[in-house]
Structure formats: structure tokens, C-alpha cells
Chain A
Amino acid sequence: MMFRIQPAMLKIAAAAWLLGATGAMADTTLEFTQWWEPELPAGSLRAIMNDFEAANPGIKVTLVSGPYATTRDQISVGAATGTLSDVVGLDGAWVNNLNAQNALADMNPMMDASEFDKTQVADIIKVDGKAVMFPVASFVYPVFVNMDLAAQAGVTKLPSTRAEFLEAAKKMTHADTNQYGWVLPLSLQTPSGVQNDLMSWVWASGQSMMADGKPALEGKPVVDMLTFVKSLNDAGVISPGIATKTEQEKVEEFVNDRVGMMIDSLAHVNLIRKRNPKLNFDLIPVPVVENYNGKRGLPYASWGIGISAASKHQEEAWKLVQYLMSEKVNAKLVTLANAFPGNVNAKPDFVTSDKAFAKAFEIFKTGYLANEFTGLPVAEDLMTQFDVEAQKMLAGEQSPEEAAANAQKGWMAKF
């Protein structure tokens, strides 16, 4: 008997050892690189990962977290060396380059295989037909209005069109007391002002800076926007120091009652309240061109997510992406981040408890997310080029048409 059992046991043990050695019995560990963890309340992203692990036995998630810029560099190098983490946090501005390196997996087949409901996500970022990124959380950019300055200036109706905005900005400007109607940050250090504070005027009116996948900067929408911004500058309603002003300084000026209006991320609401609890402000959508009644494009920055093409655990990685995009989990994550959801059915808690966020959520629901820099090659470089041409225009060195034509020439070289 003993002799019969022993070989059987040995066989089982050998099989178990083999399975263990090949990893079949081991947990799958996913690596998830992102910059979100340091920006969320301590331990909150880890807690969401713990819930995911509990719901998906056999899958563990290791978070690789760092500041935004470090993560960007890490992902660039990882893509080049084939060591990109299984799941990666993405900014829309990066995806074109990463796709050119074949670093991101196409999520279309994964969506089809799992019968994923595509209508539940706010957006799917595609490059060359490949679904490479989902925006998990979106930080929209409405116009913040200092209501006390508006009331003092006699602005009773908040601007809805560009002409009304110019009038309101003029009324709020008192250069002798360092008070201005609008603030425009065009520092070359962080040229995101081009996206958030300039192109947002184009997108708000349902217009585009592109045509057939190519830049169309010489078209009417961009030239009109530049002409409008020039008119604001000529009217002296923009706070001085445009060419070196950063987003951070823009917010500081608004917080200190020095500007009446600014286009800014909703993510800054709590910061503004903390810096100046007495500040009475309201949010409005970015004003549009005359007689435009269509849906308004809402500029946004996002925390995107994608899967590495080199990942050996794409099936498990897709489970994590699905989990983060699911209604309840997405609502939980964006509530923690004070952002708007990537899942259209998710409703973050703060929209019912906070008046400002509730208003912004209304703007969000009635408009659509618009950021044409997402997916463009070397997006930051394109912004820098446009920034320089806009600076030249504001310095009186060229007309809006010339600025648009020069920017177009520079952009075409990058395409």
C-alpha cells in the first residue's frame, strides 16, 4: 500500500512544484505607474487597490507613484526600453509619442472580448484607430468670476459671449489700483496656458483648431480667437506680465482680488477657498462667439489610463482598468480627487454637497469634454510654438493672421 501511495504523492508534489515554478499557481502582480497617489489623500488609492485585489483573487497591484514630471520621464524611458509597467497613468499629451513607440496596447479587442459597454465612458482616446487611453478623472476648466469685483463694477449679468466678456473685463479693470478684468498666463516654462486659456475659447464655441487630423490654425476659429485676445490686450484689461506668468500666479492674482475673471481648473476650488475663505466667486462656462447656441466644448486635463503593449498580464491589467472605470469605483476615485468622472453614470458626492461643484457639474453635463492637444505629437512643443507666436502678437510684432500663419508653419513641421 505504502509503495502505491508514495509514487502518487510524488507525482502530485512534482506537478505542484512544476506549476509553482512556472508561476501558474502564483499570484499575478500588476505594476501600476501613475502620479495620482501623491495627489490623493494618503492611502486612498492603495485602499481602492486593496478592494480590487479582494474582488479579484490572484491579482496583486504594486503602485509605482511619483510626481507628474518624474512619472512622465519614467514612462518615456520605460516605453523606449520595453520596461513600461503593466498599467500606466497617462496624460493625453503623451499618448501620440507612446503610440509611435508601440508602447501602448490597443484596448479595442479587450473591450470586445469582455463585452465592455463603451457608452458608459466619457471618452476613449484613439490614435491610428487604436483605443489607447480612457480618461479616468477629468479636471474641467470653467471661468471663475470674482462676484464682489463684478458687483462693484456693475456687472449684473455674467458674460455668456465674447463681446459680453470684453465689456465685463473693461468694467472690472482699474489699472491704477492693480485690478484687471482677466489674467492670461503664457509663460514658456509651462506653456499649458495655450491649451487652457487660449484654445479653450475656440473649443467653447464648438470650433476646432484642426481639420482632417491636421492643424488648421489659419482657419477662422483660431484667427478670431487671437483677434479677440488681442482686443482684450489692446483694451488693457489683461493683468500685466503675460509672457512670464504661470498658472500658479494666475490663481494667486485671482485669490488676492486682483483679477475679476480667470479660466482655471476646477481642481483649484479648494485651494482658492483655503487661500482666501472670504472670496465670493462663481463659475460660468467659457463665453462663446455671437449667436452660437450649440453644445459648449469644455477644456479639460485628465488622469488617463492605458495598458502597456509589453505587459505579460494584459488580461489582468484590463480587469484593473475596467474596475477603475466602473460606475461606483470611478465615483469614489473622482470624489477623492475633486474631479469629474470618466464613467458618465458615476456621480461624485461633492456635486450634491457643494454649490460651486454642483454648478460646475451642470456645466459639465450640458457641454462636452474638449482638448484637441490630446493625442497630438509633441503636444508641449506645439504649445510652446503657439505661445511664442501669441507673445509676438501681444507685443505688437505681428497681426493675429501672421501669428496663426507662423504657428501653422511650425506645427506642420511637427506633423
Chain B
Amino acid sequence: MTRQKRSHHRLKRAVAPYLYLSPSLLIIGLLMLLPMVTVIGYSFQNSAVLRRDPSFAGLKHYHAIFADPEFWASLWHTLYFTCMSVIFHMTIGMVFALMLNSDRINPTLRNILRVLYILPWLFTAVIIAVIWRLLLEPNGVVNSVLMQMGIIGSKVEWFSSTATALHAVTFANIWAGYPLFMVSLLAGLQGIPKDFYEAADIDGAKAYQKLIFITIPQLMPIIISISLLDFIWTMQVFPLIWITTGGGPIYSTEVLSTYTYKLAFSSYNLSQASASAVVILLISLGLTLFYIRYQKAR
């Protein structure tokens, strides 16, 4: 009886944590795992969603995607868009954070700059897309200013030319995303002990040496964490590109998200769209695992 009671007690202790976790697990299961597994399932079916009796397709849709040159072009565009965005988000975020953390700038001006610099963060992707469409349209403000300054001789179709469209959407995304880095790095800068800089001053270190040997190493954990997160998020950007260019002109700004969307809602090929979505999932998953391992190592 005593043994029975003890084993019952042990079982209760073992089960209790899972009972506490069960509401969260249920929500995660319903809202995340179930749709994910369903989409993975669709990617192995013919005429998924559109037929009541879809047949098994094996890896057919993955073969079709990997044989499609548009897929590889969109993968390349995604990588360019993401890498450039992350690099510039980090650089601009760092410059602005250093500026806002500097004692050499008047506190009132610093407060004004703080509000101005964070503004892009307050806008939704749709608003950002509309703003940049208006600014960069052939008869827009940017062309007008550049022509008056003599930098360009004729109107540039920023979003409508294959030569400039990808750079233009990347620029708009850089503008929209740097505040995340700026705010995170500013918090990190304010956490660096002043003693380090005082010791460096005593040793006669110059400003750039303090930046390279104190500031950046101290901020490195934040830089790596935010860069990885930014990489994952930027890879999945959809509304900004969809509203500004729709993936055009001539597929020049087609990224994985717009490619998948067109497969699903323009071609109604939901099986191939699911396969494409699974590829995006796998890339994101790889980056997420890398991020988790980095966080654990810290």
C-alpha cells in the first residue's frame, strides 16, 4: 500500500509539469504545428485543397519547384534582399545608436533625433510601401530632387525598371527596419561600464580604437542575436514587395514569398505552393536552430 501510494505520488509529480504546460502546448499545437503539418502534407499531394480525393504525389512538386528557373531567381533575390537589408540595418542602426548615446550632442537635439530615427518603426509595411511608391514614382519627389541637383538627367523608373527595382525595394526595407537595431544597440551601449572607456582614455586610446576594442566586442552578443532574427524575419517579407512591385518588373523582384503566393492564389497550384512554403520553412528552421545553439552557447 505504501509502495502504491509512493508510486502514485511519483506519477503525480511527473505529470504535474505537463499539466501546467498543457494549455500552451495545446495552443501551439493547434495554431502552429497543425497548420505546418497540414501544409507539409499538401506538398506531397496532387491537387491539394482543390480536390476532395487528392492522390499521393511523392516528391513531384519539389522536383517541379527545383526545376523552375523562377524559383532559383527568387531564391537569389531573397538572399540579396535579406543580406543587404541585414548589413545596412546593422550599420545604420549602429551609427544612429552611437549618435544618440554620444554626450557631444545637445540633449534636446538628441531627443528630437531619437523620435525622428524611430519613426519608420511606427509605420506598418503597407504604409511604408505606399510612402516609397509615392516618393520613387517617375514623377515623384526623389526624381524631382535628384534632377534639380543634377545627379540624374532624366526620370528614373525606380520600381518599374529591371535595373533598379530590386535595389529600390531593398532600400525601402532598409529604411523600414534599422530602428530595431538602433534601439537594441542603444540599450546595449548604455549597459557598457564607463570604466572601460576611462581606462582606455588613460591609455591614450583614440575614438576609433575604443569603438573597435571596447564598444563592438561588448555589443557582439546583441549584434549576432539581432542579425539572426532580422535575417529570419527579412527572408519572409511579403507585403512591402507585393505592394511596391508585385514581384516585377519581369520577375526582377520576385522573392520566395511572392513566388509562393502567386503559385497559390494566381495559379491555384496549392500543392506546389505548399512545397515552396516547406522550402522556406526549412531555410528558416536552419537559421532558427543556429540562433538557438548560439543562445545556448552564451
Are A80's CB and B51's CB within 8 A? yes
Given A76-B50, A80-B52, A82-B52: A391 and B250 interface contact (C-beta under 8 Å): yes
Closest to A175 in B: B155
From A80, A97, A244, A378, B246 is in contact (CB under 8 Å) with A244
Are A101's CB and B248's CB within 8 A? no
Q: Beta-carbon contacts of A367-393 to B below 8 Å, as 1s and 0s?
A: 000000000001011001001100110
Q: Beta-carbon contacts of A234-251 to B below 8 Å, as 1s and 0s?
A: 000000111111000000
Q: Which residues of chain B have C-beta atoms less than 8 A from A189's C-beta?
A: 242-243, 245-247
A178 to B262: give the CA distance in the assembly, Å.
Answer: 33
19 other contacts beyond A188-B247, A244-B159, A391-B249, with CB at 8 A cut-off? A73-B265, A76-B268, A77-B49, A80-B49, A187-B248, A189-B242, A240-B160, A241-B138, A241-B157, A241-B159, A243-B248, A243-B250, A244-B160, A244-B165, A244-B248, A244-B249, A395-B161, A395-B249, A397-B250
Q: Which residues of chain B have C-beta atoms less than 8 A from A240's C-beta?
A: 138-139, 155, 157, 160
A209 to B114: give the CA distance in the assembly, Å.
Answer: 58
Q: Say whether A81 faces chain B, with CB atoms less than 8 Å apart.
A: yes
B268 to chain A, nearest CB (A): 6
Q: Say whether B251 faces chain A, with CB atoms less than 8 Å apart.
A: yes
B123 to chain A, nearest CB (A): 20
Are A81's CB and B52's CB within 8 A? yes
Q: Say whether B184 faces chain A, with CB atoms less than 8 Å apart.
A: no
Given A188-B245, A395-B250: A381 and B267 interface contact (C-beta under 8 Å): yes
Are B266's CB and A242's CB within 8 A? no
B79 to chain A, nearest CB (A): 21
Are B267's CB and A188's CB within 8 A? no
Q: Which residues of chain B have C-beta atoms less than 8 A from A244's C-beta?
A: 133, 159-160, 165, 244-246, 248-249
Which residues of B from 53 to 91 have beta carbons under 8 Å from A?
none
Q: Say whether A335 faces chain B, with CB atoms less than 8 Å apart.
A: no
A-B contacts, 14 of them at CB < 8 A, read A76-B268, A80-B49, A81-B52, A97-B50, A101-B51, A178-B139, A188-B248, A189-B247, A240-B139, A241-B160, A244-B133, A378-B268, A388-B250, A395-B162
From B52, B155, B160, B268, A242 is in contact (CB under 8 Å) with B160
Q: Which residues of chain B have C-beta atoms less than 8 A from A380's C-beta?
A: 265-266
Q: Which residues of chain B have C-beta atoms less than 8 A from A241's C-beta?
A: 137-138, 157, 159-160
Q: Which residues of chain B have C-beta atoms less than 8 A from A178's C-beta?
A: 139
B226 to chain A, nearest CB (A): 31
B169 to chain A, nearest CB (A): 10
Closest to B254 in A: A188
A-B pairs under 8 A by CB, number: 86
A240 to B162: give the CA distance in the assembly, Å.
Answer: 14
A384 to B261: give the CA distance in the assembly, Å.
Answer: 13
Q: Beta-carbon contacts of A53-92 to B below 8 Å, as 1s and 0s?
A: 0000000000000000000010011011110000000000
Which residues of A from 114 to 165 have beta carbons under 8 Å from B?
none
Closest to A243 in B: B249
A244 to B137: give the CA distance in the assembly, Å.
Answer: 9
Given A77-B49, A189-B242: A388 and B268 interface contact (C-beta under 8 Å): no
Q: Which residues of chain B have C-beta atoms less than 8 A from A243's C-beta?
A: 157, 159-161, 245, 248-250
A245 to B159: give the CA distance in the assembly, Å.
Answer: 10
Binding site for A on B (CB under 8 A): 49-52, 133, 137-139, 155, 157, 159-162, 165, 242-251, 262, 265-268
Are A381's CB and B160's CB within 8 A? no
Q: Which residues of chain B have C-beta atoms less than 8 A from A314's C-beta?
A: none
B78 to chain A, nearest CB (A): 17
A77 to B265: give the CA distance in the assembly, Å.
Answer: 12
From B139, B160, B251, A388 is in contact (CB under 8 Å) with B251
In the A-B complex, the 7 residue pairs with the smallest Cβ-Cβ separation, listed nearest first, are A189-B246, A243-B249, A188-B246, A240-B138, A188-B248, A243-B160, A381-B267
Given A188-B247, A244-B248: A384 and B266 interface contact (C-beta under 8 Å): yes
Closest to B243 in A: A189
Q: Which residues of chain B have C-beta atoms less than 8 A from A391's C-beta?
A: 248-250
Q: Say whether A190 faces chain B, with CB atoms less than 8 Å apart.
A: yes
A388 to B73: give the CA distance in the assembly, Å.
Answer: 15
A391 to B162: give the CA distance in the assembly, Å.
Answer: 10
Q: Which residues of chain B have C-beta atoms less than 8 A from A384's C-beta?
A: 262, 266
A112 to B279: give the CA distance in the assembly, Å.
Answer: 52
B241 to chain A, nearest CB (A): 10
Q: Which residues of chain A have C-beta atoms less than 8 A from B266's C-beta?
A: 191, 378, 380-381, 384
Q: Which residues of chain A have C-beta atoms less than 8 A from B249's C-beta?
A: 188, 243-244, 391, 395
A241 to B244: give the CA distance in the assembly, Å.
Answer: 11
Are B139's CB and A80's CB within 8 A? no
A242 to chain B, nearest CB (A): 6
A8 to B268: give the CA distance in the assembly, Å.
Answer: 60
Q: Which of A81, A242, A243, A384 has the most CB of B within 10 A?
A: A243
A381 to B268: give the CA distance in the assembly, Å.
Answer: 9
Which residues of A from 256 to 287 have beta carbons under 8 Å from B?
258
Q: Beta-carbon contacts of A327-347 to B below 8 Å, as 1s and 0s?
A: 000000000000000000000
B242 to chain A, nearest CB (A): 6
Q: Which residues of chain A have C-beta atoms less than 8 A from B265's C-beta?
A: 73, 380
Q: Which residues of chain B have C-beta atoms less than 8 A from A188's C-beta?
A: 245-249
A76 to B243: give the CA distance in the assembly, Å.
Answer: 24
Q: Which residues of chain B have C-beta atoms less than 8 A from A397's C-beta?
A: 250
Are B248's CB and A378's CB within 8 A? no
Q: Which residues of chain B have C-beta atoms less than 8 A from A388's C-beta?
A: 248, 250-251
Q: Which residues of chain A have C-beta atoms less than 8 A from B157's C-beta?
A: 240-241, 243
Q: Which residues of chain B have C-beta atoms less than 8 A from A97's C-beta?
A: 50, 268
A378 to B264: give the CA distance in the assembly, Å.
Answer: 11
A256 to B49: give the CA distance in the assembly, Å.
Answer: 45
B20 to chain A, nearest CB (A): 37
Q: Which residues of chain B have C-beta atoms less than 8 A from A245's C-beta?
A: 160
Q: Which residues of chain A have C-beta atoms less than 8 A from B242's C-beta?
A: 189
A387 to B266: give the CA distance in the assembly, Å.
Answer: 13
A190 to B248: give the CA distance in the assembly, Å.
Answer: 11
A130 to B248: give the CA distance in the assembly, Å.
Answer: 37
Q: Which residues of chain B have C-beta atoms less than 8 A from A101's C-beta?
A: 50-51
Closest to A100 in B: B50
Q: Which of B50, B161, B243, B244 has the most CB of A within 10 A?
A: B50
B129 to chain A, nearest CB (A): 10
